[in-house]
Chains A and B, each alone.
Chain A
């Protein structure tokens, strides 16, 4: 980036196409653009044709006898058409149908346009009912590139721009695979408020890539690693070995439920002798098998790496998705471990984010599990990626010098196992909540992301002189709450957090995360 000449003020409002790779520059010039021409087919056209084909194949005789009562059964419809001299009419009907379908597809493709300006990404679509959707660049919560298996074969990808709120995502389906990568990089660059143009290093290789044959390129795209090597170190920060992945699934809560169900069912059958009960068990067994299979294939090619514009998490074997979360979009992080994982020392990392990608992540849940399984070092590396500047402390050990303000002894009435490790710690920008003895966990809330804070007390807690603290973040799998703290400690924590929440939110500039960078 050092070889880019300085340019005048207001960089955000003056795009510099000369420094942007040609293909992406064509998309981010602020004009309206169309999607990949095969989009309508990929988005459901093939399914429609397949359904129509199946219907026609199965009901052919029936359909014909409805429309042409005189048609004698047993004959081939094509013979009938030729014998009766209806060739012209039949071809015409076929032609009209084709024209209607192709025209519809063409129109929907033609009417579906998008543009990227310096402030917003905007999308227009629909033939009869027009919709127009805008995403402000500084409010983008994440950009996800999804490649369903079928689209992958055609070298196409879906770009999802995630915004806060329910169903607030802007989906560009479909784009060319490499165009999607370039577009994401350039949208993130525009959104970051950076003063430097994108690195020109990507260009020579892009040219080399273009020189190859079409087939080679398709194969290359299909087999390419999840991450664009120009943007991120190609290797993932964390690798999940096959054995660990299988182990983490075997020693999971769902396996526990399965085993309990099997034992219960076995006892029931053994005592009553009703073997037909097995038939009722079949659907749930299928459910479990598909659950494990889905989770396994999704997590199989897990990658995570840091880029200048945020963390990139990739998943998936056949259908892949990989999402970039810009800095400052993580509202809380949880590192947790169940009792079953403790002998192996495995941890899981989950996050709360304001948006929810429509594409499911590992194990079919929303994309909130950013490390399905890893040892403590892996977890620390992932946490350092999602919370730049934060170092995961060793929160496993308990003691007077462990750095956490823990519950008093009388909290053992309510937290018999975990009262020693039920506590919080504060850092200038982070709030750390540690809790749980069976499910050990640490919740980290970046203070600039905190929405509000509450302290509460019910009658039982009052009797013991304890209180609960709730940190309110956007909704997600993590609840940032801590129960059974000493009353005075809890109110002190409440006052401190309420004060810090305001000041740290004012200091925060992560909605334009690179605006502080000096012009290169």
Chain B
């Protein structure tokens, strides 16, 4: 497994395991809808659209099965000067965002996440491509983390 991306000297903080349920709910809803559409096409005897929807449904099912692993792959670490973030199993991605580069930090909360008391932090820099969102934080932790990161960003603010 030496081909995998790994970073040395990093102890990852994992997100809340309850995030699995948020993700599972969203995926399950997509699966149910696609099954319903597929059954509709089957009843209409429209085989080609049904096959397309079936392939999509199978993909969603696979997604559903690996959701727990995918959620476990999300991790972050608050280093001295930057935030390190990782996600993905098949498509791995590691991002390092210096605190001074954060332009604003959003807190988002979906309906299921709110039921489970979870929030999602979204970091925005001047670069559109960075796109770091950190899901699965307890609401109180998210607020605290946001305040801390905002003050860190303020103290290390550099130009653009």
Q: Which residues of A contact B (CB under 8 A)?
A: 138-139, 141, 164, 328, 331, 354, 448-449, 451-459, 462-465, 467, 470, 472-475, 487, 490-491, 494-495, 497-498, 501-502, 505-506, 508, 510-511
Contacts and interface: CB of A to CB of B under 8 A. Distances in A.
B159 interface: yes
Nearest to A468: B93
Contacts of B4: 457, 462, 487
B5 A487 contact: yes
Interface string B24-58: 00000000000000000000000000000000000
Given A462-B3, A472-B127, A508-B158, A451 B101 contact: yes
Contact of A454 (B6, B82, B95, B159): B95
A103 to B, nearest CB: 43
B84 to A, nearest CB: 8
B125 interface: yes
A505 B100 contact: yes
21 contacts: A139-B159, A164-B126, A354-B126, A354-B160, A449-B160, A451-B125, A451-B130, A452-B130, A457-B91, A459-B90, A465-B2, A467-B5, A487-B3, A498-B82, A498-B96, A502-B82, A502-B156, A505-B158, A506-B100, A510-B159, A511-B159
Contacts of A463: 3
B126 A474 contact: yes
Interface string B115-133: 0000000000111111010
A9 to B, nearest CB: 23
B96 A494 contact: yes
A455 B129 contact: no
B129 A470 contact: yes
Please classify the interface of chain B as helix (H, G, I), strand (E, B), loop, or mixed, using the class held by over half of its residues: loop
Interface residues of B, number: 32
B2 A452 contact: no
A455 B88 CA distance: 12
B5 to A, nearest CB: 5
B92 A457 contact: yes
Given A505-B101, A508-B158, A456 B3 contact: no
B110 to A, nearest CB: 25
Nearest to A510: B159
Nearest 3 pairs of A and B residues by beta carbon:
A498-B96, A472-B127, A451-B127
A459 B125 CA distance: 28
A473 B5 CA distance: 23
Nearest to A502: B81
A511 B158 CA distance: 9
B3 A506 contact: no
